[in-house]
Structure 1
């Protein structure tokens, strides 16, 4: 009996990564992200489905991005409870599910953001030839493939996580796992590829827009909106997704992992503000949306948002 108590105390001492102040700070961050991200993503998803439906490829991608962010927001109450109380009475299965939901959001959100950038770039560079490629059906297929592949790839990770957390008294602590080094390396390479795609898309769009004439405040404003979307896509990707992925390659610094997980979770608050509310047609009812046939192709592509 005494040996069991000693083992438990030893486990608690080993799993406890630092002073209580860090845990309270994490609880506050997750609480704020939950308070902002949950209503914003819920409202964004409702408006997208009500006003835009699945009329365009970009709308389909945005709906999937909102769903991904909403799933992350729904998992945050568990993190708030854990870091506020430093107790985990919900079992290893619930802990594994909460961790996986976060990692699924990081992976799917980064892919959907990249697809949105590629979709906007193709619409701008090839406005006519891309019409048959940029369809709702094609976007649905791409999103389905993303969800299916990410789900399949998570199966071995779920097994490893469950085996790891069931021997620990603390859920979200000590998430660095040497046995997952191959997955971590592959994930880092994958994120670097996505980042490169975002950078290339941004550069191409800036070059194309600079070559097109601007004859009015509205068209200049449209250009700035397009450039802003691409630049913010890239910055959000670099700030929120890349640091966490690269840190996974180092297995001996759980404190940094905890801080970067907090940072990455903030992306679910900014996605609705950046990718939805910044669009002029976001609030516009689909029955009232009008398209001027004689306007520039850039304006027509923006209206399809």
Structure 2
């Protein structure tokens, strides 16, 4: 009888309902959608069309914008579901949107890491940087998409397997979860945390430290002060976006997976983990709005071209209005 009581307690903890998550997700995605769509569309347009010099991590920024746009474009379907609590579309579309969420997260992590590493490398090794080719960045970006795209496939596969036990009109947070063997679960957590969080954290922290040290060099007063400060600003902003958006999720990810696998059975840990999970996912989605700020404040070419084109558009509209009014008069 005692064991049955314990089992019931564990089951009730694992089945803890998080009633506020629907409102939280809906509000967050509504707030992110319009700024994320406009800012990333403008950023992608400016980066591709107006910046001819594809250095200073511009290629990685373009790919980061593409990753953000892929997630942003799926948000209307997420908003619909969390407001209406039903999924009238195809199951494939649900799994695709679910997949794009994690593809955006881990592609963003990789490209933010590449931006930090390249800016630091160009700063510390300026002569070697002159021989760096644009095709290297393109090859690295293509490799990231292939590796990350493949590595993120288990996320929708595990949830798809759990859909058999769920109603056909559920999606996202209400999808089922297929339990894995303990060894597989531990291996998955370890690889995801190392490749998707620990290694990028170490690289970004190292880049930040090396960039700060370079500013304290005795020769900094005579050469490259402005360039070093720009590099430091970019590395700091990459680190800021990374820690704000992705650190909470990866800290909670370990506990969340172990809770779903029923390895952790303490009711207080189960409840706190499940309650914090929606907040961590919402923070991860904020990167779609924070990344364009990184482009604007760390890339002078981006600011110049955006302001130049914006002013030219305003001038052309004013001239068209003046010519129209003169013709009427």
What interval of TM-score do these two structures reach, taking the shorter chain for normalisation? 0.7 to 0.9
Structure 2 residue aligned with 1:120? 119
Structure 2 residue aligned with 1:205? 211
Structure 1 residue aligned with 2:104? 105
TM-score (norm 2): 0.75
CA contact (8 A) 2:214 2:228 kept: no
Matched positions, count = 270
How far has the Cα of 1:227 moved from its partner? 1.8
Structure 2 residue aligned with 1:70? 69
Task: Give distance in 1, aligned partners of 2:56 and 2:235.
Answer: 17
How far has the Cα of 1:37 moved from its partner? 0.5
Bigger mean CA offset, 147-156 vs 56-65:
147-156
How far has the Cα of 1:283 moved from its partner? 3.7
Task: Please list every run of 5 or more consecutive structure 2 residues that lacks an aligned counterpart in the other structure.
Answer: 1-13, 260-272, 309-329
Query: Where do 1:144-293 residues align within 5 Å?
Result: 144-169=142-167, 170-173=170-173, 178-179=179-180, 181=185, 182-190=187-195, 191-211=197-217, 212-214=219-221, 222-250=227-255, 251=257, 252=259, 253-285=273-305
Structure 1 residue aligned with 2:6? none
Measured at CA, do residues 184 and 276 of structure 1 come closer, stay the same or move farther in structure 2, by a change above 3 Å?
A: farther
Bigger mean CA offset, 185-194 vs 195-204:
185-194
Task: Give distance in 2, aligned partners of 1:277 and 1:105.
Answer: 22
CA contact (8 A) 1:17 1:173 kept: no
How far has the Cα of 1:224 moved from its partner? 3.6
Measured at CA, do residues 249 and 81 of structure 1 come closer, stay the same or move farther in structure 2, by a change above 3 Å?
A: same
TM-score (norm 1): 0.80
Measured at CA, do residues 207 and 214 of structure 1 come closer, stay the same or move farther in structure 2, by a change above 3 Å?
A: same
After superposition, the CA RMSD in angstroms is 2.6
Measured at CA, do residues 168 and 276 of structure 1 come closer, stay the same or move farther in structure 2, by a change above 3 Å?
A: farther
Structure 1 residue aligned with 2:18? 18
Residue-by-residue CA offset, 1:114-146 (whole Å, 9 max, x unaligned): 0011100111000012322x3210000000101
Structure 2 residue aligned with 1:302? none
Structure 2 residue aligned with 1:88? 87
Task: Please list every run of 5 or more consecutive structure 1 residues that lacks an aligned counterpart in the other structure.
Answer: 1-13, 289-305
Structure 1 residue aligned with 2:26? 27
Structure 1 residue aligned with 2:318? none
CA contact (8 A) 1:16 1:173 kept: no
Q: If you compute each CA radius of gyration, which structure gives the higher value, 1 or 2? A: 2
Task: Give distance in 2, aligned partners of 1:145 and 1:112.
Answer: 11
Task: Give distance in 1, aligned partners of 2:178 and 2:191.
Answer: 15
Task: Give distance in 2, aligned partners of 1:122 and 1:280.
Answer: 19
